Structure 1
């Protein structure tokens, strides 16, 4: 059965209720309806529109306007390089680009008609907003979000309205998310986490979004301390919060008062879980999703502390683990590693202009995520890494890099770590640890780290090689770019 439409039923429910705040600029639901409704009238029938997705009020208004107009929006990362941006614009073929007045756009967008997103926060509407009727087809494309392009040119994942509403409603159930919640975050607005969960999620519930513009521990403390109830972040952000807790009692108090702390986009190290729990009394919960699937699993509210786990499948999501030959793994032993495949109404419609890539991504109606995981006896899922970069086949064993990384991060002399596999004439692959030491002048020895892992996990999972770095290569979301780790 199709989920309910429209995507934003709360838009006209309480016009005086706060909706969006970016720094010192804010809109009520009535003001958002007026601004987005006016823009929707201008872009109606445009085919597709690109959105220059800066972390601003204008971006949020532009995406809401596209939803109201029934026009697919293509969020563009302002930090994307010229070559990649040219590919995305050529592939998605938007009719125009939405941008904030004064935004300087790169030459890759020079051929597009520009439509400024007019948002006057000082102007109060005289009459209630008159909004266009949203499309009533749940399969109508809402967003085209481009993948990171780590294995080739970025692909545009077509996300229908059905996937967005299904995911947001399932998360509302798992997180007990209501209109009374005030979400604080500082995530970019060109991807699923920051835009769909972080902006459309609260707006669908009728709650409030407070975007920091730029992440800082001070901003988190300020907004959570002033009525914020939820915080969304990525592991890099939570790591910085954990580092600041001991010296900032106001931050500790603010985090302790939050109803829900959610981390996503990559695994949050167990060490940071434990530091935040010890300093605030609050547990960070994790969820798991992808651009193509939106959200698949989450630790539910009241589900208990589960550091290292991404929880249970959300309502409506089918999830299975499979062997390399495609056979299903039926064991729930916390040890057997398999690739995650999912199916359900949360999935994308396909890759834009890429029927071949779309077909290759599915095993029947199951989407191949490329993520490797184990399942505990109660069904909780623990991701151990990506099939392409984090599955290490050593001495006849299948080893997930993620569990070794968590073990190494538990060592007091390790600040950051990434684990990869490298060819080995005897083992097939050997486990390699790339370590950022807590004290670069006195790094832990390779033998000490190997013994530490062997004692916590198993001898065959210990790193055979340790390489020391000053820092790990990361992308804009804080994910470690393992493909950049090479030994000459």
Structure 2
């Protein structure tokens, strides 16, 4: 149905395929280097890839995909115990890395050092679209990381749906500097470019200067990247010739949305997804761009929200419920964990995202946050942390904000806000929320901090904030 996953690599072999930092490969060169890897990994159950921001990672993943062997991207900054767990749990039988990687990935694993200058010509049949293409591990915020089995069908469906929504073609040049071990940077930002045929420029690090110098037509970034670009007006203005600026992996604060729009002349496009579903929702290139909203389902995806009472909630733009998703982008379950898979699967086979959302009558989605940390129950009210955070970051002097619910003997939970910025009176923030939303949604306490704890994709780690209280 979806055709070869890396469709564009077989056409116009002398065209540029990927540049990572100063290293560039044409399609012919990438296929040649990846073919050597494919021969080395063929027949194995799974192979682990050291997910550094390097051409070696690109070649390793492409080689595994060519051979039809599931690739397990391992965070390049993973600690010894995390790396050991992922390798043991995934059943990886080979460690793919660059020659300078000290870690061997596990004493029992065969090691294959990637040579981006190697050239082979082995040809492999395209695996069935139901075959697992990647095993990507979750962040493990609620326990041990879980291996998400992503079939080739899910990768292709999400990329094709976004190509349709964003009018993404081989005429684009994609630029990003995101990690190559998460869905955003690896699936969209690398495999997506190779499937669509648009040259990829990976900047190694997503700095404002690197983005400004790249000269792309399509840019991917997380909110932290866009915030830093807004703090460098010259770099932001250099992106004014870009066709599309895409933000994801965490909510884009409204002030950043507005400032980026003012500096570049282009309103950013937001999208939504998870490791388990790849990307399912997006603003369309030719559609309305609303701050705080992530658009509508891509082709083939269906969504619904379920209220706390277990019933499906209305699509009125206000009522909140847990977002449920179905469609070809959804994963094939957690590796070796039937119980965990069952917990996130409804009786009729939909995926329970654990995210709280509202859907309006036009099918636009607003994500209010995670059920586990972003849905606060205070004084009998259900309050989405996201709406409080949006008000906070719109106040003078506030650069970032994160809201959590803390156990309270009277209210059940009380709202505590952590903010980064230059503030004279925190009480003014409390009053602003009470005025713009309602009194019961106001923070009972505001703490000013130097920075918010974030993971590699820029998501605020609220469990770390709660541990400080």
Name the counterpart of 2:178.
187
State yes or no: 1:131 paired with 2:123: yes
Residue 33 of structure 1 contacts residue 131 of structure 1 at CA under 8 Å; is this kept in 2? no
How is 1:240-251 mapped onto 2 (pairs within 5 angstroms)?
A: 240-245=228-233, 248=234, 251=235
Name the counterpart of 2:455.
475
Partner secondary structure for residue 43 of structure 2: coil
Aligned-residue RMSD, C-alpha: 1.4
Partner Cα distance (2:456, 2:463) in 1: 15
Q: Measure how far apart 1:395 and its partner are.
A: 2.2
Q: Measure how far apart 1:5 and its partner are.
A: 2.5
Give the counterpart of 1:445 among 425, 433, 456: 425
Give the counterpart of 1:382 among 366, 372, 384: 366
How is 1:251-262 mapped onto 2 (pairs within 5 angstroms)?
A: 251-262=235-246
Residue 305 of structure 2 contacts residue 323 of structure 2 at CA under 8 Å; is this kept in 1? yes
Partner Cα distance (1:471, 1:48) in 2: 38
Name the counterpart of 1:109.
106
Partner Cα distance (1:80, 1:213) in 2: 17
Q: What whole-Å deviation, never above 9, does each CA across 1:315-374 have from its counterpart, x for those lacking one?
A: 111100001242111x22222110101011101101111111111110121111010011
Residue 167 of structure 1 contacts residue 295 of structure 1 at CA under 8 Å; is this kept in 2? yes
Name the counterpart of 2:76.
78
How is 1:294-313 mapped onto 2 (pairs within 5 angstroms)?
A: 294-313=278-297
Partner secondary structure for residue 104 of structure 1: coil
Q: What whole-Å deviation, never above 9, does each CA across 1:216-236 have from its counterpart, x for those lacking one?
A: 111100002xxx111101111
Task: List structure 1 segments (4+ residues) > 3 angstroms apart after TM superposition.
Answer: none
State yes or no: 1:346 paired with 2:326: no
Q: How many residues align?
A: 467
Q: Measure how far apart 1:4 and its partner are.
A: 1.8
Name the counterpart of 1:100.
98
Partner secondary structure for residue 363 of structure 1: coil
State yes or no: 1:265 paired with 2:249: yes
Partner secondary structure for residue 319 of structure 1: strand
Partner Cα distance (1:282, 1:448) in 2: 32
Partner secondary structure for residue 232 of structure 2: helix
Structure 1 unmatched ranges of 5 or more: none
Name the counterpart of 2:2.
4
Residue 237 of structure 2 contacts residue 263 of structure 2 at CA under 8 Å; is this kept in 1? no
Name the counterpart of 2:87.
89
Partner secondary structure for residue 403 of structure 1: helix
Partner secondary structure for residue 210 of structure 1: strand
TM-score (norm 1): 0.93
Residue 414 of structure 1 contacts residue 444 of structure 1 at CA under 8 Å; is this kept in 2? no
Q: What whole-Å deviation, never above 9, does each CA across 1:375-426 have from its counterpart, x for those lacking one?
A: 2232210011100000011222211101111110000121211101112233
Which is further off, 152-161 or 427-436? 427-436
Name the counterpart of 1:405.
389
Give the counterpart of 2:140 among 146, 149, 155: 149
Q: Measure how far apart 1:252 and its partner are.
A: 3.3
How is 1:159-308 mapped onto 2 (pairs within 5 angstroms)?
A: 159-224=150-215, 228-245=216-233, 248=234, 251-308=235-292
State yes or no: 1:358 paired with 2:350: no
Structure 2 unmatched ranges of 5 or more: none
Partner Cα distance (2:20, 2:81) in 1: 31
Residue 39 of structure 2 contacts residue 122 of structure 2 at CA under 8 Å; is this kept in 1? no
TM-score (norm 2): 0.97
Partner secondary structure for residue 351 of structure 1: coil
Partner secondary structure for residue 453 of structure 1: helix
Partner Cα distance (1:461, 1:65) in 2: 51
How is 1:416-435 mapped onto 2 (pairs within 5 angstroms)?
A: 416-435=400-419
Partner secondary structure for residue 239 of structure 2: helix
Partner Cα distance (2:135, 2:125) in 1: 21
Partner secondary structure for residue 33 of structure 2: helix
Partner secondary structure for residue 179 of structure 1: coil
Partner secondary structure for residue 44 of structure 2: coil
Name the counterpart of 1:320.
304
Name the counterpart of 1:42.
40
Residue 30 of structure 1 contacts residue 129 of structure 1 at CA under 8 Å; is this kept in 2? no
Name the counterpart of 2:318.
335
Q: What whole-Å deviation, never above 9, does each CA across 1:73-103 have from its counterpart, x for those lacking one?
A: 1000121122222111111111111111222
Q: Measure how far apart 1:130 and its partner are.
A: 5.0
